[in-house]
Every structure is written in C-alpha cells, then in structure tokens.
Amino acid sequence: MPYKILEKKKLGKSGALFEMVLHTPLISQKAYAGNFILLRINETGERFPLTIADYNRDDGTITIVFMVVGKSTKLLANQNVDDEILDVVGPLGNKIHIQKYEHPVILIGGGVGIAPIYPQAKELKEAGNKVICIIGARNTDLLFWREKMRSVSDELIICTDDGTEGIKGVVTQPLKEIIVRQKISVVITIGPLIMMKYVALTTDGSEDLPKVKTFASLNTIMIDGTGMCGGCRFTTVDGDIYYACVDGPDVDAHMVDFDTLLNRATIFVDQEKESLEKYDHECRALNKFKSEEC
C-alpha cells in the first residue's frame, strides 16, 4: 500500500532541509521516540532509514525531516503533496527508555539530528523531567524547529559554528559548563557521528569532568532494518559487535568505537557520488525543454 505525502515544507534557509508528513495509520499507532522507518520511494529506489521526528496517532501520521545529500534524498525532496511513497516500513528500532530521572536530562541535536531529539524531549518532559536541550548547526540557515524545541524544553541553548546565532562554537562547549555546575542524570545526543563522538568524550569522565550516562543515536548504513544484512553493525571499544537497527539506534555512547564507525560511514562515498551525478544528468536531459528543476 503506497503512503501519501500530506504535507511538505522547506526548513531553514539552506534549501536542503525538508519536513514531510506521511499518512501511515498503522505505523503512527506504534511509534515512539527513538523509532525509525525505512523508505523506498519507487520500485527502482533503494531502502534508506529516517528517524521518526514526530507522530500523531489521531491523524494517523508521522513526520520525517531530511537533508538532501544524495540521490535518494534528492528524489524524496522532489516528491510533492499527494504523491505516494511505495514502501514505508516501521516503526523499527527500540524506543528510548522513558522514566522520571532524579536530576535534569540533556538532549543534544546537531544538524538534522535536531528533529529526532524533539520526540525524545517531549516524552521525557511529559514524564516529569527537567529537560535541557542544546541544538547546533554550522550556521543559522541550517537551524530549524526552534519554537518546537522551546515548547518541550525548560532551557534551550543554541550553538552555531560560525556564530550567526546563539553561542559561537560547538555543542560540547555549553555541555561542559552544565555538567560542571550541576548534577545531570543522562545525556542523549543525535547528529553527525563526529559530534556524537566528542559528546561521548566529554561525558566519559576522561577529561577531568564528571562522568554522565550518555546515549547516542547511530545513523549507520542500513538496508533491511532487522539485523540480517549486517550493514548497520558497529563495534564497541572492547571489540564486541552490535547492530544499530535491533540493538539501537540509541545505544550507550561510551561503548561505541566511533573511529571505526566513522571509517565505515565513508565506504560508499564514491558510489553515492556517481549515483547522484547520473540522476542529475537524467533529470537535466528529461527537463531540457521544460522549466522544471531536478
């Protein structure tokens, strides 16, 4: 059964970020913060994962947020309201463990990772927690959902690498200041692998800072989402093997071998570049005599 796109809009000012609302009645009834879906846009498309950024059980919808980085995300961005996506599978992965913590919780979202920390912050807030959110991006054009994040935060801190909004610097800067001045029960981080690596290093007790339990949501290479393909496997610092799709995607950040994971994330860079170039070439040829853009 195809899944209809009910809403679509651009986020930020970069032109590369999109939000979509999909009609997925069955998935929305079972979705929780931390879950993800696998999409296949058409019969020749690849399967790729996106974290559920919000859900509405009454409307039977889920919300996804994505950045155009390759062929599949560009093809998804070219879909419009009332278009249909061939396959949407989910909810997959484990929902986060929601409980009332003794001390405040910190949620850190970087780039597109801002979207999936929203439902986590919302569910933790509803459970009675004090929620501190830190969101960051390279610049203000890549920031989004500020008001949504404020609505589920007791404190919202914004960072940009270039200082065009909020604190100039990376998300670990305010994180260090917070964990030094007060007790924190847990830190949750979602975003680029390199960002999550340094968040984990900040909270693992090795930098003369307090150790804080930390979870990272791993955005690994993924194909089937059930643990059978092995594409999403990651190793721990002790050499053990886990699978992000069934053991995560939220896992203990301090056990992850981020250096190996960063290397694995670049395995298909050349193929992805070639696929995008071929897609762009076909689009230009198709629209040569039209005003449409790919």
pLDDT of residue 291: 46
pLDDT of residue 266: 77
Q: Where are the beta strands (DSSP E) in the chain?
A: 3-11, 17-23, 36-40, 48-51, 54-56, 61-67, 84-85, 87-92, 105-110, 131-137, 155-160, 167-168, 186-190, 214-217, 233-235, 241-243, 250-252
Higher per-residue confidence, 291 vs 104: 104
What class is the 105-264 domain? alpha beta
Whether this prediction's pTM lies above 0.85 is answered by yes
Higher per-residue confidence, 223 vs 93: 93
Question: Which pLDDT band, with edges at 50, 70 and 90, does 35 fall under?
Answer: very high
Please check whether the two domains, 3-92 and 105-264, share a CATH topology.
no
* Rounded CA Rg of the chain: 19
The domain limits of the chain are 3-92, 105-264
User: Average pLDDT of 140-159?
Assistant: 96
Superfamily of domain covering 3-92: Translation factors (2.40.30.10)
User: Average pLDDT of 236-247?
Assistant: 91
Question: Which pLDDT band, with edges at 50, 70 and 90, does 293 fall under?
Answer: low
User: Average pLDDT of 202-230?
Assistant: 88
Is residue 143 within 8 Å of 135, Cβ to Cβ? yes
